[in-house]
Amino acid sequence: MMKKTIKLMTVAMILLAFLLGGCTQSAAVAPQNLATISVDASSYMEVLPDQGEVYVTVLTRGDTAQVQTDNAVLADEVIAAIVAAGVDKEDIETSSIDFYPTYIYDENTRKNDIDGYEARHRLSVTIKNLDIVGKVIDEAVAAGAQYIEGVNFTVSDEKREEYKKTLIEEAVAKAKVKADAAASASGESIDGVQTLSVSDYGGQPYYRADAVKGIGGAEETQVLPGEVRVEISVHIAYRLK
């Protein structure tokens, strides 16, 4: 039994020595005090948007809770009108539904009494054909929508990915020029990339609607989009020789 125990301990010590030796060797290979130079660069382009987003609110007021049902019926009519104007139904989403009582202050009782109810259905409408933005707004209002909360013009995910590839290449090239200049000024030279990170600012629309007119009138609403900025920035750490 003693011999077996000694043999097991010997094997364990050999394995431990092997592991420690491997760790020591790995530590020796790892670079120490690696010299790097870090730079930031960005690239952007302003492009025409390829989709718009409109927020449409359907509001119903009344004396009883029936307004909630009335609002649901009216919202369905507005949705049907938007679809008829050329928007795919899957591009219409409910962003919020609210139902609450409204109050009036009674000076005799000094209390707030319920004097009615209000229901709201807010829709987010993505319009992929910019030629029909004005028509969608007009048809929604004609069907009973009370509020059109502006128009956001953006670049779709598919288009943004196309632009990002070019912008990343440009930003990385700019970063390399900066790094080479800084290294040369320091009497050094670049040996390669140590780390690289990319930030995408393309999700934020860079535009305003230049004109919105004709709502509620005989003339069709005209919405004139500006350009959208798609921007990429990179942070790169380069190794020095």
Beta-bridge mates of residue 99: 119
Average pLDDT over the chain, rounded to an integer: 82
pLDDT at 39 over 80: yes
pLDDT at 128 over 50: yes
Most confidently modeled of 12-16, 105-109, 128-132? Answer: 128-132
What's this model's pTM, rounded to 2 decimal places? 0.65
Higher pLDDT, 209 or 83: 83
Range of weakest confidence among 49-63, 97-111, 175-189, 206-220: 206-220
| Domain that residue 129 falls in | 51-154
Q: Residue 191: which CATH number?
A: 3.30.110.170
Q: Residue 71: which CATH number?
A: 3.30.70.2970
Count how many Cα atoms sit within 13 Å of the Cα of residue 142 in the half-sphere of its side chain: 17
How many structural domains is the chain composed of?
2
The secondary structure of 132-178 as a DSSP string is GHHHHHHHHHHHT--EEEEEEEE--HHHHHHHHHHHHHHHHHHHHHH
